[in-house]
Amino acid sequence: MAYVVERKPLTLAERLYLPQIFAGLRITLKHLFAPNVTLQYPEERPVIPSGYRGVPTLVRDPQGREKCVSCQLCEFVCPPKAIRITPGSVPADQPDRLHIEKAPQAFEIDMLRCIYCGLCQEVCPEEAIFLQNQYSLSGYTRAEMVNDKARLYELGGTLPDQHYKWDKKKAAAEHGNTH
């Protein structure tokens, strides 16, 4: 069912169209003298706001241990299927990782596929993957654009951690409710 919308009849000034053009000219003239808003990119860099979604990276906790436990939730949630994880188990004989059972063997993010949506960061139960402020990424080959685990940790660095999960595990194992 089609609706007929009654429009207000145009006034003579509106039908002449010229006053509107003059009004428009006034606006464009104003913009001619307004300061430019574009950045001169390579010299001027944008201020990255907090919460910016740059290149996804893996981070370590302040003790330098990897936080990722390869739960593969990011791989699952990733809309363009850019993340590929090979899970692995941590051998029980590593003293500094005594309470960590699982960690990624390989972790690859294909930056040619990544759409920077941030769902991986949102879904991560270990707060191990973050989209940080790196926004300029380039490479000469396709292979170069696939970030492997080492590169992801290099990009990610260490983030302040609020809850030292592994320490808690260790404390629980040492002083916990055993019998």
Q: Where on the chain is the footprint of another protein (CB under 8 A)?
A: 18, 21, 24-25, 27-29, 31-38, 40, 69-73, 75-76, 87-89, 92, 101-102, 125-126, 172-173, 175-179
**116 burial via Cβ count (<10 Å: 0-12, 13-18, 19+):** middle
Residue closer to another protein, measured from CB, 126 or 137: 126
| 29 half-sphere exposure, CB direction, 13 A CA radius | 6
DSSP state of 29: H
Shortest Cβ distance from residue 176 to another protein (Å)? 4
Pair of tokens at residue 38: 């574009």
Shortest Cβ distance from residue 58 to another protein (Å)? 15
Sheet holding 83-89, edge to edge: 83-89, 102-110, 146-147
Residue closer to another protein, measured from CB, 124 or 152: 124
Strand 83-89 with 102-110, pairing? antiparallel
Residue closer to another protein, measured from CB, 10 or 25: 25
Nearest to 124 by CA among 29, 57, 176: 57
Shortest Cβ distance from residue 1 to another protein (Å)? 28
Shortest Cβ distance from residue 50 to another protein (Å)? 25
Residue closer to another protein, measured from CB, 29 or 115: 29
Chain-centroid distance of CA 145 in Å reads 16
Residue closer to another protein, measured from CB, 51 or 125: 125
Shortest Cβ distance from residue 67 to another protein (Å)? 11
